[in-house]
Chain A
């Protein structure tokens, strides 16, 4: 069972923790204001954020294409022109992909409903689909919108929507499934990765489910989902112990009836938001609630965010920031915009998490796998760039998916940061006089947590050695140093 946190226990550190995990963190002022709301109101403000979609209009290119017309046109072209057309389309997609990553990163950075974007990021990792195979940027954008729409709605509705999602139809080959040769790709992954987890179904269940998901097609005129009854296997299927002429939705309903499904999703949510390897009793309690509400996500998140366990030492500052979290949160707490699209994309690639290009259908492994010696040093050097103490060497990136097949460094160039943080905002004048106060203030801004006495002394000495009233260079370098630490990677 989860123990509700008592409102009296609500404090600055818990407020910071909730902002970090439910969204992308906040500045000291934002954390204080959030804390002052009181526990109940603060949680509600997270869960009931506004719909700010109008502030993030969809990219101009995010429109369906008439594939049928394109194909017909293409057929009349001579081979060399056909090839040219294809190459042009490819170039266009690549540019759009870069645009798309930037569009979402900006939205995560500036949204007034960070909880929704963070949940959308969670579901993107869960229903991991890559532009590498889907290719068309519009379809990736469309899937992102679908995930956002259901982000904290009903999980049952979301999986059904995903089974019809055009990007998913391509990604897991559902649209190519033939009545006589049902493709098992989607049927397998929907159980293994999206709902039940391995061990909760048999190979026969996969084959039977594949039959039920036949007839899922994409309308070539407007790239919408189309159900083709003639391609659907209407025969009897025996699936997870039940027999009937099941459709894809029937299969989804049967899956949702399995206790394993609620437990699988509840565990994954807890792991993403709180900590690894939760106690089985805790998962059981969350799963029971999830099933009890017929898979409503928001009430489950409410329970999580109000639990004592969520604020326990097992949870607070025990996770490693994902690359997306690192980039967005750094920009927020330094009060700057995101770096330009090429710099941001470079950072995400070097750090190992490019949205819309997860490594595979399992999504990002996350946790400690974010950190290797090279990604850690890149984080430190990215910090150098972010605070404005140095330039950054970046590669010219031509496509989001995969790496460009050119050797490293061949198309790399150095960029200067033109939007360095305003130190008057990041380090208010009143904390600068006393090195101890300065370090304590920056600890809160950067880590939302104090350092050990030893580490504090190290930084205090650094400041003291630079004489009274540290100048701008010293302060920027101090920021860089405090971000070039294991502590800054934690959340």
Chain B
């Protein structure tokens, strides 16, 4: 098996594979690579090459490829107070206290308008950079935060549980062998939507802390650290791992599920090490080019902006804004969140424009559900169903898509969905990321005029 490896390692033949291989070749393996490669790395190499050769779709992680920023509004955003059916008396009847006064709504047409705090988003809408998809949901909506979030993250039917996330399946299908920074989650957790057969993606929130802090600043320590956090080349380990697993090479995707806990840790350590150097150096070289609001979301998007400016080979960024579970005294909380959302997105749009990258960046927001139509006894709202999504970017076709759910035809007190969220995903996959949505989502959902 080793002679094959030799060829593969020395002759990387696609640019997708460049980074990881380059790293392994130069910093870990040195010149004489072929005979002591640990088995799981060999598997990786085989996988990479098999995938690269077979794959109908080549990943492009270069300077010019499109980027998706997924924005999760966690807790269930009140879609009706975000995109408001201000011309409908039923809205004010259902929400005598928390309804947004008609004269403050920013009209989009003679029926719906935006929350008064979303004034910057209205500007983007007018400039042709914001698309608003109304009435998004799915059949048999689930009102549990966990389950509904899971449904959105895995793009499953409501009665089906899938192990992998929709973005993870995209990585599996189109980004095999890519640098681990192909998916970046801002925060400490990797979202369920990144879960994949062949796990990839990194997470961080503070670049300056996203590195191994050297206690004595000596090159000797750095070397030991690096060596210990790369898969080792000890021949004993080769024996221990046994050649039996070589059989699974052509299957490729199945490999990672069977890696041992130590192998899993070693791979994550390698990913951390590879990405931290790059992220740190980008963070140093690229301060934010515009001023962002000092909020959690502002900080997250500012970080995304810096990484994009620095050319991190990322296709999908993931950020979130929490606090939307407004069961009691909703108005002050929701108003603040809308303001933070507006200000952060506007700053991000300015940043991308200033960088000249707005045309290749798309932000897509989602929340696990909207809220009930009728306010509750505590001037808040309980868990509901359909809600709008925002899609923003220089390459986005602006407009009001979908149909606002009728307030006269509620489904158990909730807005009934008109657009399956997977239609939005499918459009983003097919038209934006240029990935086969049918393969990723399991079936073909109708595409929308978003791009």
A residues with CB within 8 A of B: 318-320, 350-352, 360-362, 368, 371-378, 380-381, 384, 387, 389-390, 393, 402-403, 405-410, 452-455, 458-459, 462, 465-466, 473, 476-477, 480-481, 484-487, 489-490
- Cβ-defined partner of A320 (8 Å) among B237, B265, B269, B299: B265
* Contact partners of A452 in chain B: CB under 8 A: 232, 234, 236-237
Q: Which residues does B use to contact A, with CB under 8 Å?
A: 145-146, 180, 185, 187-190, 202-206, 208-213, 215-216, 218, 220-221, 224-225, 227-229, 232-234, 236-237, 260-262, 264-266, 268-269, 271-272, 275-276, 294-296, 298-300, 322-323
Given A409-B206, A452-B236, A486-B265, A477–B190 Cβ distance below 8 Å?
no
Alpha-carbon distance between A405 and B295 when the two chains are bound, in angstroms? 7
Q: Do the beta carbons of B233 and A455 come within 8 Å of each other?
A: no
Complex CA distance for A316 and B378, rounded to whole angstroms:
52
Question: Which of A374, A380, A384 is B188 in contact with, Cβ under 8 Å?
Answer: A374
Contacts of B296 in A (CB 8 A): 403, 405-408
Measured between beta carbons, the chain B residues less than 8 angstroms from A352 are: 188-189
List, in ascending order, chain A residues with CB within 8 A of B228's CB: 455, 458, 481, 484-486
B224 is contacted by which of A371, A458, A487, A489 (Cβ under 8 Å)?
A458
Is there contact, CB below 8 Å, between A407 and B234? no
Contact among A376, A406, A407 for B265, CB-based, below 8 A: A376
Is the Cβ of A360 less than 8 Å from the Cβ of B146?
A: yes
Residues of A within 8 A of B189 (CB): 352, 372
CB nearest to A381 among chain B residues = B213
Verify B216–A473 contact, CB threshold 8 A: yes
- CB contacts (< 8 Å) of A453 on chain B: these are 234, 236
For this complex, 22 residue pairs linking A to B, each with C-beta atoms less than 8 Å apart, are A318-B261, A360-B145, A372-B188, A373-B204, A373-B271, A374-B187, A376-B265, A376-B272, A378-B188, A380-B212, A384-B215, A389-B216, A393-B206, A393-B208, A407-B296, A454-B234, A466-B220, A477-B215, A477-B221, A485-B229, A486-B228, A487-B262
Residues of A within 8 A of B216 (CB): 389, 473, 477
Task: Please report the C-alpha to C-alpha distance between residue A437 and residue B206 in the assembled complex, in whole angstroms.
Answer: 39
- In the complex, the answer to whether B323 meets A384 with C-beta atoms within 8 Å is no
- Complex: chain B residue closest to A395, CB-CB: B206
Cβ-defined contact, B202 with A373, below 8 A: yes
A407 and B299 CA atoms in complex are apart in Å by: 6
Residue of A nearest to B299 (CB): A407
Q: Is the CB of B212 within 8 A of A377?
A: yes
The verdict on A373 contacting B203 (CB below 8 Å), with A360-B146, A477-B221, A484-B212 known, is yes
Docked Cα-Cα span, A352 to B323, in Å, equals 19
Q: How far is the CA of A490 from the CA of B298 in the complex (A)?
A: 36
User: Does A481 lie within 8 Å of B224, measured CB to CB?
Assistant: yes
Residues of B within 8 A of A406 (CB): 294-296
Shortest CB–CB separation between residue A359 and chain B, in angstroms? 9
**Cβ of A374 and Cβ of B204 under 8 Å apart?**
yes
Determine the residue in chain A with the shortest Cβ distance to B269.
A486
- Contact check, B266 vs A486: say whether CB atoms are below 8 A apart: yes
Find out whether the CB atom of B210 lies under 8 angstroms from the CB atom of A377: yes
A384 to B190, CA, bound (A): 24
Residues of A within 8 A of B218 (CB): 477
Q: How far is the CA of A452 from the CA of B202 in the complex (A)?
A: 28
Complex contact A410–B213 (CB within 8 A): no
Bound together, the chains give a CA A452 to CA B264 distance in angstroms of 17
- List of B residues within 8 angstroms of A485 by Cβ: 228-229, 269
B185 to chain A: closest residue by CB: A372
Most buried by B among A320, A351, A484: A484
Closest-by-CB residue of A relative to B297 is: A407
The reply to whether B299 and A480 contact each other, CB–CB distance below 8 Å, is no
Known: A407-B299, A410-B299, A458-B228. 9 other contacts (CB 8 A): A373-B180, A375-B188, A390-B215, A407-B295, A452-B234, A454-B237, A481-B221, A484-B228, A486-B266
Across the interface, A458 reaches (CB within 8 A) one of B205, B227, B269, B271, namely B227
Separation in Å of the A199 CB from the closest CB of chain B?
11
| Contacts A320-B261, A490-B265 given; does A462 touch B224 at CB 8 Å | yes
Write the chain B residue with the least CB distance to A361: B146
Shortest C-beta distance, A320 to chain B (Å), equals 6
In the complex, the answer to whether B212 meets A381 with C-beta atoms within 8 Å is yes
Give complex CA distance A360, B150 in Å.
13
CA distance A486 to B229 in the complex (A): 7
Chain B residue nearest to A482 (CB atoms) is B228
Question: Are B213 and A384 in contact, CB atoms less than 8 angstroms apart?
Answer: yes
Query: B69 to chain A: closest CB distance in Å?
Result: 17
Residue in A373, A390, A486 whose beta carbon sits within 8 Å of that of B275 in the complex: A373
Chain A residue nearest in CB terms to B204: A374
User: Is B261 a contact partner of A368 (Cβ separation < 8 A)?
Assistant: yes
Query: Within 8 Å CB of A481, what residues of B?
Result: 221, 224-225, 228
Smallest CB–CB gap between A29 and chain B, Å? 26
Are A480 and B272 in contact, CB atoms less than 8 angstroms apart?
no
In the complex where A410-B294, A458-B227, A484-B228 touch, is A377 in contact with B190 (Cβ < 8 A)?
A: no
In the assembled complex, which residues on chain B have CB atoms less than 8 Å from the CB atom of A458? 224, 227-228
Residues of B contacting A480 in the complex (Cβ-Cβ under 8 angstroms): 215, 221
The winner among B190, B211, B233, B271 for most chain A CB atoms within 10 A is: B190
Closest CB in chain B relative to A172 CB, distance in Å? 12
In the bound complex, CA of A176 to CA of B233 (Å): 61
A371 contact from B187, B227, B268, B300, Cβ within 8 A: B268
With contacts A377-B272, A410-B294, A489-B265 taken as known, whether A390 is within 8 angstroms of B213 at the C-beta atoms is yes
Asked if residues B202 and A459 are in contact (CB atoms below 8 Å), the reply is no
In the complex, which residue of chain B has the Cβ closest to the Cβ of A368?
B264
- The answer to whether B322 and A403 touch across the interface, beta carbons within 8 angstroms, is yes
Tell me which residues across on chain A come within 8 A of B190, comparing CB atoms: 372
Who on chain B is nearest to A476 by CB? B215
CB-CB under 8 A from A375, the residues of chain B are 188, 203
List residues of chain B with CB within 8 A of the CB of A351. Answer: 188
Provide the bound-state CA to CA distance between A283 and B209, in Å. 43
Given known A-B contacts A407-B296, A454-B233, A381 and B209 have beta carbons under 8 A apart = yes
A354 to B78, CA, bound (A): 28
Check A459–B265 contact: CB distance below 8 A: no
**What are the 3 closest A-B residue pairs judged by CB atoms, nearest first?**
A389-B215, A407-B299, A486-B265
Residue of A318, A371, A389, A408 near B299 (CB, 8 A) is A408
The closest CB in chain B to the CB of A393 belongs to B209
A461 → chain B closest CB, angstroms = 8
CB distance from B27 to the nearest CB of A (A): 15
Give the complex CA separation of A318 and B265 in angstroms.
Answer: 11
